[in-house]
Amino acid sequence: MSTSGNTSVPNEDPLGIDRLTIDYDYLLYKINDYVASIQLETTAICRRQNELIREQIIDQVMEKNIEGLNNILKKCEELENHFDMLDQIAVISENFKVRLARVLKDYKQLKS
């Protein structure tokens, strides 16, 4: 459809595919960010632990390290949730493919 005198076509996305793409890319960005964050924190804690063992300073700092490791575990759980979201997106997209194929088949039958 075109309107006279109007050369631009409005960007319509009734199914929200553009938004889904943006959300998917953002989710992947967050996952990468979490992985990098977990890696940096784990490395820092391991280095700190190694230094503590060498210096034989254990009690108070060990509790702090355990707390840090618990925080990393929480981030890992959040990361797992993000991967679960990716799995759900895969299921949704597969269902969408089936539904789209059905619509196309029905359309071809109506056209015949």
Has residue 5 been placed in a domain? Answer: no
Per-residue 3-state assignment (H helix, E strand, C coil) for the chain: CCCCCCCCCCCCCCCCHHHHHHHHHHHHHHHHHHHHHHHHHHHHHHHHHHHHHHHCCCHHHHHHHHHHHHHHHHHHHHHHHHHHHHHHHHHHHHHHHHHHHHHHHHHHHHHC
pTM of the model: 0.52
User: Does 12 fall in a domain?
Assistant: no
In a domain, 33, yes or no: yes
Q: Is 61 inside a domain boundary?
A: yes
36 lies in some domain: yes
Q: How many domains does the chain have?
A: 1
Question: Is 22 a member of any domain?
Answer: yes
Q: 3-state class of 60 per DSSP?
A: helix
pLDDT digits (tens, 9 = 90+) for 41-73: 999 999 988 887 777 666 667 788 889 999 999
User: Whole-number mean pLDDT of the chain?
Assistant: 84
